[in-house]
Structure 1
Amino acid sequence: MRYLFRGVMVGDGHRRAGTPLRDAQDEAGVPPGVWKGRGLAALGLKAEDVVSERQAELLLGEGRHPDADRIERELLAQGESPARARRATVLGRPIEHNRSPKTGKAKERTPWLAFDLVFRPPPTAHIAWALMDETHRRVLELCDGIARDKTLAWIEESVAQIRSKAGGRERARVKDGLVVAVFRHYESRATESRPLLHSHAVVSVRARRPHDGKWGNLSADSLMTRIVAADTLYTLLFMEEVMARLGGRGSRAK
């Protein structure tokens, strides 16, 4: 997950080692990430809460509850063993199971703990965004956010499936919804960055199964096979929002 912590969370730039997350975001000129998705309630989080570095590290890097540190402290204070306290914070299958029992080393296939979905307006729109005045830029950013969130809701309701039964052979709809960390960026990732409005929606692979409420893994296939459809839907929703708010002005700079 180095790409997430060194790039996505700080505007696709290069974060210097030891730089606090918020300082790095301020230097890059990007807002802090925020949580999205109906699956947040099961974790005690709310939509639009700021994504802290520790929360992202725990959930997206280790597959554990984003408030695992507090949970562990409370359980230890109640007399639980360190091993049981830690296990209580793990969502689904511990990633330690990916290690060889003989050598203790990680196997070649490391489990995915998140999917990075990128939402980007059409080329004409982000060029217009770069040339517009501040007021019109904010309107396009609003349109982008609405279209992105509606597309994520569609993925939650109609696309996302979770593995169930032994070996993950069966698929089912998720019980609550998804847990997503959204990071808005204003420049491209190229060596010579250029204005480029876009968002990264980092979807946690962890979700709850409908039949028992336990945590499991999303099916990668269910998401990857709908990427083009999601991109098309986002673009249509974005253009609808632009036309509703700017009419024909959305295609030219002011």
Structure 2
Amino acid sequence: MLSIAITDLRESLSSWRLWSLLGWIEIRQRYARSAVGPFWLTISMAVMIASIGAVYGTLFGQELREYLPFLSVGLVMWFLLAQIVNEGATVYIHSAHYIRQAATPKLLYVLQVVWRNLIILAHNFVIVIALLAIFGVKNWLVLPLFIPAFILFVLNAMWMAMIAGLLSARFRDLPQIIASLFQVAFYVTPIMYRPDSLVRFSWIVDLNPLSYLLHLVRGPLMGEVPTLLTWGVSAGMAAIGWTAAMWLTGRYLKRIPYWV
């Protein structure tokens, strides 16, 4: 089973011109005839960060110079994760016309979703860079850790999208369930509040694997070195998740055209 999935992944990666072009075209079509284009997402994200930062920063008694960068990284990275998984859940359904007409590798469409959202991330990440430039980088020595942390973050998002897309092609109610679960996870994941804020209910953060992923990418930007537990949980999730995703892909890859 794994050999089938590995072959499909290798062919998908070698077709990078196709999935990168499809992702770019979809963004251009989505914002056609718009003067600002994808930067509308950046503007809305900036307004959200400013609004939430002013309200929750006051409620939590946080200094804005500390809270705004913390909040911006959390929201921007959460938006990336949620979009990749939610769009991944419908990737085969929305690409049904391509899947039925051309014998293309199937994971190509998942790579298209990841690539498209990385382009959107590049627009939103301008906010993080601006806030770090305004309030300063706390620790330049820790900052390079963001690169391997970000790669591990994207790898985890990708296997989630792979499994969600495959199961959603078979069970059409699943995309709505996944979207609802991410709405709930938004409030139990330390995005708007610091992990140590839940004194009596710290187990909510400790048992939430998404909190480790978020801290993994937020820590280096905030001048903190992610703990070995954070690296271990994130790497373990990636190893187990990719194994499961590749097995499921190899097992049910040939059934996707019939499901969609």
TM-score normalised according to structure 2 size: 0.31
Q: Whose relative contact order is higher, 1 or 2, with alpha carbons under 8 Å and at least 6 apart?
A: 2
Structure with more strand by fraction = 1
